[in-house]
Amino acid sequence: MRLMIPVLFLVSGLCLASNVLIYNYDQEDLIWDSAVGDSIDTGYWVEQTLLSLGDTVDSGTVIPSDLSSYDAVFVMMGMYTC
Strand order in the sheet with 56-60: 56-60, 19-24, 72-76
pLDDT, residue 36, reads: 86
Give the pLDDT score at 78: 74
| Residues with Cβ within 8 Å of residue 17, at least 6 apart in sequence | 54, 55, 56
pTM of the model: 0.69
AA identity, residue 20: V
Stretches in the chain below the pLDDT threshold 70: 1-17, 27, 80-82
Cβ(55)–Cβ(17) below 8 Å: yes
Q: pLDDT at position 33, please?
A: 87
CA 23, 45, 8, 15 torsion-angle sign: positive
pLDDT for 77: 82
At residue 57, the pLDDT reads: 92
